[in-house]
Amino acid sequence: MIALKKRLKCDSGWTFIEATLSVVIMAIMVLGLTIVLMAFREHLDRSWSIRVMDQYGNDVIERLTHELRNAVDVTVRPSVRNTHKIDIQYLDPYVHDLYHTNTWRADLQRSQILIDNDPIDKTFPPRSPGRGESFQIIQFTLSPYGQLTPNDSERRDSFNRASNFVNATYDIRFKLRYNRAAVNPGERNWKFEREYRNRVYMRNKNLIVKKGITE
Amino acid sequence: MKSIKNTWQREEGGIDFVQLIVGLMIIAIAAVGTFQALIYGYEQLDYEMRYRKAVSVARSYMEYWQGRIHTDINLYDRQVLNGNLGRPEVLLLDERDPTIDYDDVYCQVSYGPIDMVDLPTTGVGTDHFNLRVYVTWWEPEQREDRPPHEILFHASMVPAAL
């Protein structure tokens, strides 16, 4: 200990060993920190895009749920790929016996959900996506309870239910995909899919309000 | 103390090896703390996404029962009398990394018996139905002997709209 103290005390500069060790340790730290920061940045980029997609998925589901709750009838038509065109009929709140219809559909080219050809959210997909980023609509369907479901118990249950229940209970399924294509050598393509779903019981379909009696 | 002061006084503006090592150690400790905070924040955001999805699952089951009460209720049905407490349905809540399956997060959905409430003052039979839907799940890295996260939806529905 005394010898070490003496050596440190009379240390008037850097020895070759100290300098080499310092360079090696700093190089390892800088390299490690750079790798961690780059990985973290990539992670944050993906995470941000997934959160933007998640917000859009929830917005679409919420808005469609709200419209179906207040609607008096709905018609579902097949559309391109795994999507439906959904015509939602609702009563005018001020004029007796006046019906309006909104048509919902998926625009697969622009990856947007449109209501009467107007996008629900003009900011999705983002105008300036990151490198290699893109979004895709994989599924946009509205099906009566027990149909198009991966849940066997629901399918079995639907056969035991009354027709006015099955005809008024709909499952919304909206599946989005986030793609991150490889740009630099050594990178790999990456994708992330998430399904958003909700069930709506269209109570107005089984009520007298459907006939236009609102008071 | 005097000798240390002397050493500092003699120093000509540079740093020595020991100072460098101590500095690097401080930077390393600070970096670990910062990354832990960032990872915690990221996990909280993930938790919020799962929580929102669990709310959606609970609401879907609530819609099912509201529709059943509206149109298709059999008061002697086993589902109505007992619910499915004790044998919940298992649903995928969050896929997380799409390249692997073992990190997926599943939730359990159960509903209690449908309580038929008959108020003695009204004399109309069942006045309203009480429904309860539970969604429970364990977060990744959470031990299974710890209590799960739970969402409870509780609603009352009057049959007057029939």
Residue with tokens 């969050």: B94
B45, B72, B98 member nearest A161 (Cβ): B72
Q: Is A124 on the interface with B (CB under 8 A)?
A: no
- B24–A29 C-beta distance less than 8 A: yes
A22, A191, A201 member nearest B66 (Cβ): A201
Residue pLDDT, tens place only, B51-110:
999 999 999 999 998 888 888 888 788 777 788 877 888 988 888 877 787 888 999 999
A25, A199, A200 member nearest B24 (Cβ): A25
Residue pLDDT, tens place only, B4-24:
555 555 555 677 888 888 988
Q: What's the whole-model pTM score?
A: 0.80
The pLDDT assigned to B162 comes to 46
The pLDDT assigned to B114 comes to 86
Contact list, A21 vs chain B (CB under 8 Å)? 17
Which residue, among B3, B6, B52, B63, would best test binding to A if mutated, counting the most A CBs under 10 Å from its CB? Answer: B63
Hey, what amino acid is at B146?
R
Of the candidates A164, A62, A105, A167, the residue with the CA atom closest to the CA atom of residue B60:
A62
- Residue A125: is the preceding peptide bond cis (ω within 30°)? yes
What chain B residue is nearest to A21 in terms of C-alpha separation? B17
Torsion of CA A71, B113, A153, A147, to 10 degrees: -10
| Longest Cα separation, chain A | 101
The pLDDT assigned to B21 comes to 87
A110 neighbors A165 (Cβ within 8 angstroms)? no
**Chunked mean pLDDT (size 10), chain A, 215 residues:** 59 78 90 87 86 93 92 92 93 83 93 93 87 92 89 87 90 93 83 90 78 54
3-state SS record for B38-93: HHHHHHHHHHHHHHHHHHHHHHHHHHHHHHHHHHCCCCCCHHHHHCCCCCCEEEEE
How far is A74 from A61, CA to CA, in rounded Å? 16
What chain A residue is nearest to B39 in terms of C-alpha separation? A40
User: pLDDT class for B122, splitting at 50, 70, 90?
Assistant: confident
The first and second tokens of residue A148, run together, are: 């198009």
Handedness of CA B19, B20, B24, B27 (dihedral sign): positive
- B18–A194 C-beta distance less than 8 A: no
Q: Is B16 on the interface with A (CB under 8 A)?
A: yes
The pLDDT assigned to B4 comes to 57
Domain ranges of chain B: 11-161
The pLDDT assigned to A153 comes to 84
What chain B residue is nearest to A53 in terms of C-alpha separation? B49
| Min Cα separation B67/chain A (Å) | 6
B-proximal residues of A, 176-215, CB under 8 Å? 191-194, 196-201, 203, 206-207
Please classify residue A175 by burial: count the beta carbons closer than 10 Å to its beta carbon, then call 0-12 exposed, 13-18 middle and 19+ buried: middle
How far is B148 from B140, CA to CA, in rounded Å? 11
What chain A residue is nearest to B57 in terms of C-alpha separation? A198
Q: What length does chain B have?
A: 162
B89 neighbors B135 (Cβ within 8 angstroms)? no
Domain ranges of chain A: 16-211
The pLDDT assigned to A130 comes to 81
Q: Mapping DSSP to helix (H, G, I), strand (E, B) and coil, where does residue A2 land?
A: helix
Contact list, A61 vs chain B (CB under 8 Å)? 56
Contact list, B70 vs chain A (CB under 8 Å)? 165, 201, 203, 206
